[in-house]
Structures are given as structure tokens and as C-alpha cells.
Amino acid sequence: MSEPAFDAPVWHNGKALRKGYTTGSSATAAAKVAALMVMRQHLIHQISIVTPSGVTLNLNVESPHVEGQQGIAAIRKDGGDDIDATHGMLIFARVTVNDSGEIILRGGEGVGTVTRKGIGLPIGSAAINRTPRHTIETAVREAIGPARGAEVEIFAPEGEERAKKTYNARLGILGGISIIGTTGIVTPMSEESWKRSLALELEMKRAAGLARVVLVPGNHGERFVREQMGIDSQVVVTMSNFVGYMIEESVRLGFRQIVLIGHPGKLVKIAAGIFHTHSHIADGRMETLVAHLALLGAPLELLTLVSECDTTEAAMEHIDAHGFQKIYNHLAKRICQRVLERLRFTQNPPICDAIMFAFDNQILGSNRPVNEIVKDMQC
């Protein structure tokens, strides 16, 4: 589906809801304008960036300042009508251009520091997620050219106080906010309108003649399928948290094979019969892992360690250290079993497969050999 214009509202219950943009987009725009001001040696008051989802944002710059080889600029984060803890705060970038040829990115005041394993970032690093890191570095590189280098500091003076209203401390991110976002855009959708838009994409795929579909939680899953599995991204549809709904829509439309592909952080919930995976609805990840590890004969020490984890990534490290990687194949089979139980009244249920992968894009487990799944997808 083509990406709707940024200023096109999202409708819910007769109300037009305004979209917003992420802290990642704010930081990217601030870094881009700070770098451009150094290169041009004058102040800039408006900047445009293209988000990872392809939407162009035209943003007002606040507090622009340039002195010699250093530029500073801020963008006010705007969550649209999806208000969160970071809405309305200023995200700053300080860019110092040099001749090193390298771009060094770090977090300053108000940007949290990672203190525990489990979120895919090294301990001690700034809580700037992978997609924003990439977009910030790309934007600065475009501004300064291929030969120069730059030190880029992202900071948010209100960050430490605002972070108290987030889950950061529970995840081991201390001292400030996270710079996050995979698409760059915040879409304030009601569940019903969101689900309908996802189902519409399924309908388009089916109308184009596709009989097999890969359902992924989000962008990371789509990228993994395309880059690591060699499966045409045309067969991939985002299901977000609406696993049960999207499976039932796939059945209604007559798909013959459904493959669920994602990180265990989402998929493990399905093994417990949780078909709406938003944490506000249900979160039985650790309990599910503990139960199935116990079924496989895991020692009490491992069960205890996993039960005390806050993130699936952290639990996975303990599982790996104790040599219980077989849990992932076991869980993938259980996921398929749960799906077929849900579809038990369906006359001709589709083939169901499940594949789990890690943040480093390694395949962790599947219900049957991956090459067989891929082969069936290509029929």
C-alpha cells in the first residue's frame, strides 16, 4: 500500500486524528540542520527529512546556533494526537565537524544510558535505537560530504524528568529518554481502523493472486524476511499486535499457507494462546518461557533466572548460556499448535509455520526445517 501523506488525518469515531513524528525523527532533523549550518555558516529555520517509511517531514527549527565548526539546533517532538511522555519536548543535536572522516554519535544530557543487557544495545551506550542511529548518521553524512567527520551529540534538557513517566528504568535505561522509532511517524490509530488497514493489504495481496502469506509484527520482521531469507517482500504483511485477527482474515480470504516470522519477544506470547500481543492486553512472556523450559527439563537455576528477567532478550542470554536453544523449535511448534486450535472449526485450515529470529538476524528456531518452509512459499 502506498504511504498516506503525513498531513492526511487518521479517522476514529468520527474524529480526525493528527499524526506526529518520533524522537528519532526529531533527533535526525536536529542533527541534519546543525551539520548544514556548519557547512553553510548561516542559521537555518526550517528543515525537511525523509523518514524510514518514506514520509517527508518539513519541520521548524528552534534555538539554531552556529559558531565555527560547531552547530546546535533543536526540534520539538510532536506526537500528534497520540500524546506520550516525550510530546512537546525539545530534542537537540550538537554537531562538531572535523577532518577525521568518521561520524561519532553519542547521547548527552537527558538521553538515557543502557545499563542492562536485553534491549539490543551495548551496556554503557546511549539509548539511541538502531534505526535512529542510522538515520542520524546518514543525514549528517549527506550534509558534510564523504570526506569530513563529525561528532554528534543528541541531548534533551527535559529528558531525565520526562523519562520518569516511561518504562525506561524498568528496562535498565537510566538518566533520560530513549531516541526511538522504526518508521519515524507516530500514527494515532484506533484498533479497528488500524486492523482494517492491515486487512486491506491482505485483500490486495490475495486479489493479486497470492495464496501464501508471511505475517510479521513490524518493520524488523519484514526486513529479515527480505534480506536473510530471500523471500519476496510482496508476500509479507504486517500484523502488528493483531495476530489472531490477521490469521482469521487470512483464512477468510483463502490463503493456503500462513508463516508467522518474528522475534521471540512477540511470538512467544502466541505459544500461550495470547493472540493480541500488546503488553497492555497481556504479558506472559517469562511465564511461558519458564513453563516450556521446565517441560524440556531445564534446571531450577535457569527457570529462576528467566522468571526474573524484564525482557525476552535478557532471558535469551540465560537460555543460551545454559544450552537450551532447543526451546525455540519447541515454541515454534507450540505456536502452530495454538493457531490450529484457534482454527479448529475451519473446514480447510491453511498450513501454519512459525520462525523466530534474534536481533542479530540469526534464526533461532522453527516448527519444521526452514528450507522446507521457504520451498513451500515459493511454490
Decide if 36 is inside a domain: yes
| Better pLDDT: 9 or 101 | 101
93 shares its domain with 113: yes
Residues 129 and 250 in one domain: no
121 with 266, same domain: the answer is no
| 99 within some domain | yes
Q: How far is C-alpha 323 from the geometric centre of its chain's CA atoms?
A: 28
Q: Tell me what the pLDDT averaged over the chain comes to.
A: 91
Tell me the C-alpha distance between 126 and 120, whole Å. Answer: 12
**Same domain for 96 and 80:** yes
CATH code of the domain covering residue 170: 3.30.2110.10
Overall average pLDDT of the 285-312 stretch: 97
What's the predicted TM-score (pTM) here? 0.67
Q: Are residues 215 and 167 in the same domain?
A: no
Instruction: Find out whether 223 and 357 touch, Cβ atoms under 8 Å.
Output: no
Amino acid identity, position 31: A
| Three-state secondary structure of 10-27 | EEECCEEECCEECHHHHH
> Are both 312 and 221 inside the same structural domain?
yes
Query: Could you list the residue range(s) of the whole structural domain that residue 346 is in?
Result: 189-376
Per-residue pLDDT tens digits for 235-272 = 999 998 999 999 999 999 999 999 999 999 999 999 99
Distance CA 365, CA 356 (A): 5
Domain-embedded: residue 296: yes
Closest to 110 (Cα-Cα) out of 174, 153, 160, 180: 160
pLDDT band at 5 (very low <50, low <70, confident <90, very high): low
164: DSSP letter: G
Looking up cell 526451546, which residue turns up? Answer: 327
User: What's residue 378's pLDDT?
Assistant: 81
Q: 201-204 — which CB contacts under 8 Å span 24+ positions?
A: 201/1, 201/237, 201/238, 202/237, 202/246, 202/249, 202/250, 202/253, 202/255, 203/253, 204/1
Domain-embedded: residue 3: no
DSSP 56-86: EEEEE-EEEEEETTEEEEEEE---TTS--TT
Evaluate if residue 189 carries a pLDDT over 80: no
pLDDT band at 3 (very low <50, low <70, confident <90, very high): very low
pLDDT tier at 223, thresholds 50, 70, 90: confident
Residue that finishes a domain, picked among 127, 150, 184 = 184
